[in-house]
Every structure is written in structure tokens, then in C-alpha cells.
Structure 1
């Protein structure tokens, strides 16, 4: 898979290394000559260009990319690059970095963004997840389908302890994606039994998210 990354700073280069290790082709784009540290990611393609200019994206052959990652430190640049990637080049998947939480509301489909990643929000969610038992915690949002990845850790008082997966009826637009138990990730089967301390991961709409807790915790 060919993936373009706008922004060759520390974040962009780190993403590139991970993707290259997973067997993808990666193009790093940056307009700052100081950011072109080619020796740091020698297996990537490099292009000194402005990701907000059509001519630059033509040179990048963005139409041949399956994914665009807008990972600069400037939210305005990330938004413009996302919009151009989606509308002008039809990139199937656009992932954008949010640097300032106050701008989060902008990063949606109207700007061509399929997935928006806010580092402050993710860190806050992970802190909540680490200390919250019995509460539903949103970990991540999938913008295209308006769905969220949410987590619930079952307390000893859960009404579902000892029940099987198939015995618990979830709200519409909610699906149990995984059970994390003793450091292991379990793909849930209908006969699996819930135990205290299970970390349950769901993909759910915002409406269903509000209803999940009631399926597992007496209120």
C-alpha cells in the first residue's frame, strides 16, 4: 500500500518507520529543507514540497496513494492537505493530526478527514481508562461512520459476571469487539463468560455508547 505523509517532523518520521516495518510504501512530504532528514528514514520516498499546493501534490502522485496522513504541527495545513487529498485526488482514507484541541470540531468529513487523531484527547482517555472501573470511556472516534471505540472495565458488582456473551443484549449500533483479560486480547465468542476485571472494547455509535453501561452495571 502506498501512503503519503504530509509533515516530516518527529511525528511524521515515526509514523513512516512503523508503516515501512509493516511492508508499506511511504512518501514523506515537507516544505522545510531542515525537515528532510533522509538518513533517518532511508527507505521512504522524500519530496520537498508544500502539501497545500496542487502542483506539489501532483508531483507526489497523490492519486496513487491509498492513505494520506496529514501530520504537520499546523492544524491549518493539516486541514487543507486533507481537503485537497480527498476532493482533488480521491484518496480513500485521510487521517489527520489535531495539534490543538480547540480545533477538533473542524476535523470532519467536510474537510475530507476520515479519522482525526488528537494526542491530548487520547492521553486523557488512556488516563481515564486506567483509573475507571464501571464507567464507559471513549478511547477513539471514527469520523466516517460516526462510531467510537469505547471501553468498560467490569467491576465485581457487574450484573453480567458469570453470564455468557450471547446472554447479554447490547443496544443497536453497538458491537463487542474484544475482551482484554490478564493482558491477553480475546476475540469474543458467544459462549465466553464475563468475569470481574474484564476490559470490554466496543465499537458503538454515540447513542449506543450512552446505553452500554446499563447492559452491564445495575443503575
Structure 2
């Protein structure tokens, strides 16, 4: 896949490195010659010096053959212009970094496939780390209507050495929640468990649940939650 990134700041360069590691063909556009040089020499991606909203620069960078374009610049106005031009040139997937929430709808109207607020993502991660220190990772889907938690299974957990089926049938396990992933140890592959999968100490699990069941899930697993109030599980 050919991915064109508008902006070679910290986000754009890190994204370029990650995409390159995943095997994609990547190019960045930036007005800063030093950033472009760094992208070429240190990361190993193509770079084009100039404005990311210059049609001549975009055509030189191969926007006509790009599968995805990502607008990572700090100016929403410039990002919006890049989204509009990308739509004009028929780029199938357009991803944009949102800085000011007032631009969210204009981005969608202009044709952005994905609008991502990096500030909101960072704030959410920080709040989750404060509120739920037991959770290794948490992801939100459908505007926060569904949560996926990554939880450690310690030797003293309530769920240790129990099967997924046994856990699912436990009346204390929040209804509608599911164990959807299992990793026996940090170096092991993540698998989709079946009912007979035994959750061993030292492993991690992925659990999908509703937001109002977050604390119940943590308490059910049996992690240390002394700082959290006890909440009864309800249907």
C-alpha cells in the first residue's frame, strides 16, 4: 500500500516509521528541508519538500496512485485543504489528525474517512490510567459504547486456572461481556479462546464489555481494586 503523509513533524515521522516497519511504501511531504532529510536518511522513506497543499508537490509525490493519505499537520485549516484535494484526486482512504473539534464536521463533509483527535486519545488514556490502574490497556469503540480491556491474570486472581466457559457461566460475570482474546505469556501469540481455554497465571486476556461494567469486570477478575467502590452487578 502506498501511504502519503502530509507533515513530517513528530507524529508524521513516527507514523512513517511504523508504516514502513509494516511493509508499506511511505512518503512524507513537508516544507522543512531538515525534516525531509531526516525522513530520507534516518527513516528510509521518500520525502518531498514543499507545501502539502500544493497541487504540483502532491502530483510529484504521487497522490494519483496513493492508497491512503494522512494529514498530520497542526493546522486544521491546512489539513482540511489537504483532505479536500485528496478527495478531488480520488484517494480511497483519507485519515486526518483533528486538533480543534470545530473542524470535525467540516473534515467529514470534505471526505475524510477517519477523523482522529490525538488530544482526546491522549486524555482518555491518561484518565483510564488514573481510574483503572489495573488495566494494562483499554480501547473504545462506537463512540465509547463498547470497551475492550487488556487485563493481567495473576496467580491470586479469581479467574486463574478457570476455563472461559466456566467464567462465562458465573453469575457474577457481567452479562453481555465476553473474553475475546488470550495470551499465555508476553512473547506468545494472541489467540481467540474457546470455552475450554484455561486462563493460567501470568497470562493476559482481552475482555469486551459495556462502559458501565468496567469496574465490575475488574472486581470479578480479582485484581487489586481497594481504591474503587464495590458495585453490584446488575442485568
Normalised-by-shorter TM-score class: 0.5 to 0.7
Q: Is the 8 Å Cα contact of residues 30 and 47 (structure 1) preserved in structure 2? A: yes
Report the Cα distance in structure 1 between the residues aligned to 2:190 and 2:119, rounded to whole angstroms: 28
**TM-score w.r.t. length of structure 1:** 0.66
More strand by percentage:
1
| Displacement after TM superposition at 1:66 (Å) | 1.5
The reply on whether 1:123 has 2:122 as its aligned counterpart is: yes
Map of 2:28 onto structure 1 = 28
User: In the alignment, which residue of structure 1 is the partner of 2:46?
Assistant: 45
Cα-Cα RMSD: 4.2
Cα drift, residue 25 of structure 1: 1.4
Moved over 4 A (4+): 140-143, 146-149, 152-158, 165-171, 174-177, 179-185, 193-199, 208-217
CA contact (8 A) 1:12 1:71 kept: yes
1:9 aligns with 2:9: yes
Give the TM-score of the pair, scaled to structure 2: 0.63
Show the counterpart of 1:188. Answer: 192
187 and 110 in structure 1: CA distance in 2 versus 1, 3 angstrom threshold: farther
In structure 2, runs of 5+ residues without a counterpart are 221-232
1:80-103 deviation digits (Å, cap 9, x = unpaired): 212322x21232222222234x44
Question: What does 1:55-66 correspond to in 2, within 5 Å?
Answer: 55-66=56-67
Cα displacement (A) at 1:157? 8.0
Which runs of 5 or more structure 1 residues have no equivalent in the other structure? 203-207
Question: For 1:167-212, what per-residue CA distance to the aligned partner results, in whole angstroms no more than 9, with x for missing partners?
Answer: 47975xx98653467646632222135689965354xxxxx84576
Which residue matches 2:230? none
Find the aligned partners of 1:35 and 1:139 in 2 and give their Cα distance. 32
Deviations 1:46-89 (A, max 9, x none): 2123222334322222121112111112122222212322x212
Q: Which one has a bigger Cα radius of gyration?
A: 2
